[in-house]
């Protein structure tokens, strides 16, 4: 049974190296996931791949059914999830093209269905989220980077914004003062929902652009995509080493 799932974000809508053996359309108590779960073999291990923005990249960050995605993966027997995502760089060393394994989160999102614990609970549940990512899986990713010869920035704070618009220059300045090193739109509530279902979850962030006001001129999606193509190849090498290591 597959233990590892990869949730692919922008620039990572599919994995060509994945030998898909089965595609399963799943219903959950929270609705349908972004796409059918793709079961396949990757790096000699069975994994599940789920494209976060749907087939054809049609679901914007604030409309993703994060609960259905995480529930479906738990239901499929998954233990570990790596959430891939494109981000903007805020900290000086988080330049476009870099890969980072964040260790903290600041959540700026709002209005998203962000918990499984809202109805008919006998008791209110407050999960611990001091360390929002699974430290074991983060370490495994960092080791996989070393094995694959891919440089990874081993920590950083992921600032999760609502989107779908990009930020203003002042919002990025404020995020920096808060302590955010990276900015992305999909890191939350995904990480928190995985914690609620006691899944091991870590993120692999691919820096696609400088945060607003930090680069030359406006941010274009074309420039982001060009950068992602290269970053995602590196990310795939890391994931292959990880899959091999988790065997």
The single residue among 184, 187, 189, 231 that binds ligand HPA, judged by CB under 6 A, is 184
- Using CA atoms, how far residue 72 sits from 5, 25, 69, 105, 106, in Å, is 11, 10, 5, 24, 25
Of 34-42, 113-121, 206-214, 233-241, the window that binds ligand HPA (rule: CB under 6 A) is 206-214
* 235, 241 Cβ separation under 8 angstroms: no
To ligand HPA, the closest distance from the beta carbon of 186 in angstroms equals 8
Could you give the CA distance from residue 244 to residue 247 in angstroms, rounded to a whole number? Answer: 6
Could you give the CA distance from residue 66 to residue 221 in angstroms, rounded to a whole number? Answer: 23
The single residue among 183, 192, 240, 242 that binds ligand HPA, judged by CB under 6 A, is 183
208 forms part of the interface with ligand HPA (CB under 6 A): yes
87 forms part of the interface with ligand HPA (CB under 6 A): yes
To ligand HPA, the closest distance from the beta carbon of 146 in angstroms equals 26
137's CB contacts (< 8 A; 6+ apart) are 80, 82, 200, 201, 202
The single residue among 40, 54, 187, 211 that binds ligand HPA, judged by CB under 6 A, is 211
Tell me: cis bond preceding 189? Omega within 30 of 0 counts: yes
To ligand HPA, the closest distance from the beta carbon of 61 in angstroms equals 8
The residue whose two tokens read 């679901």 is 59
Question: In the window 21-80, what residues touch ligand HPA (CB under 6 A)?
Answer: none
Could you give the CA distance from residue 202 to residue 242 in angstroms, rounded to a whole number? Answer: 12
166 forms part of the interface with ligand HPA (CB under 6 A): yes
To ligand HPA, the closest distance from the beta carbon of 202 in angstroms equals 18
Task: Give the residue at shortest CB distance from ligand HPA.
Answer: 88
The single residue among 37, 51, 101, 167 that binds ligand HPA, judged by CB under 6 A, is 167
133's CB contacts (< 8 A; 6+ apart) are 101, 102, 103, 105, 191, 201, 202, 203
The single residue among 72, 86, 134, 235 that binds ligand HPA, judged by CB under 6 A, is 86
Could you give the CA distance from residue 215 to residue 224 in angstroms, rounded to a whole number? Answer: 12
209 forms part of the interface with ligand HPA (CB under 6 A): yes
88 forms part of the interface with ligand HPA (CB under 6 A): yes
125 CA to centre of own chain: 24
Which residues of the shown chain bind ligand HPA in the complex (CB under 6 A)? 86-88, 161, 166-167, 183-185, 208-209, 211, 219, 224
């Amino acid at each position: 049974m597959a233990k590892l799932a990869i949730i692919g974000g922008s620039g990572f809508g599919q994995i060509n190296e994945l030998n898909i053996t089965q595609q399963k359309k799943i219903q959950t108590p929270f609705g349908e996931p972004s796409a059918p779960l793709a079961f396949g073999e990757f790096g000699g291990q069975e994994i599940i791949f789920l494209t976060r923005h749907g087939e054809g990249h049609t679901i914007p960050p604030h409309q993703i059914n994060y609960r259905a995605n995480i529930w479906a993966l738990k239901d499929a027997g998954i233990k570990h999830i790596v959430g891939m995502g494109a981000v903007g760089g805020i900290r000086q060393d988080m330049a476009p093209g870099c890969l980072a394994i964040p260790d903290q989160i600041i959540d700026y999102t709002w209005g998203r269905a962000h918990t499984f614990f809202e109805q008919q609970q006998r008791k209110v549940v407050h999960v611990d989220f001091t360390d929002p990512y699974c430290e074991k899986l983060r370490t495994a990713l960092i080791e996989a980077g070393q094995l694959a010869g891919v440089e990874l920035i081993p920590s950083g704070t992921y600032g999760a914004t609502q989107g779908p618009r990009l930020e203003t220059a002042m919002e990025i300045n404020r995020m920096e003062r808060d302590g955010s090193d990276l900015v992305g739109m999909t890191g939350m509530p995904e990480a928190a929902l995985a914690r609620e279902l006691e899944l091991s979850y870590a993120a692999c962030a691919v820096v696609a652009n400088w945060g607003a006001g930090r680069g030359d001129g406006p941010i274009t999606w074309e420039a982001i995509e060009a950068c992602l193509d290269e970053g995602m190849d590196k990310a795939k090498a890391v994931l292959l080493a990880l899959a091999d290591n988790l065997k």
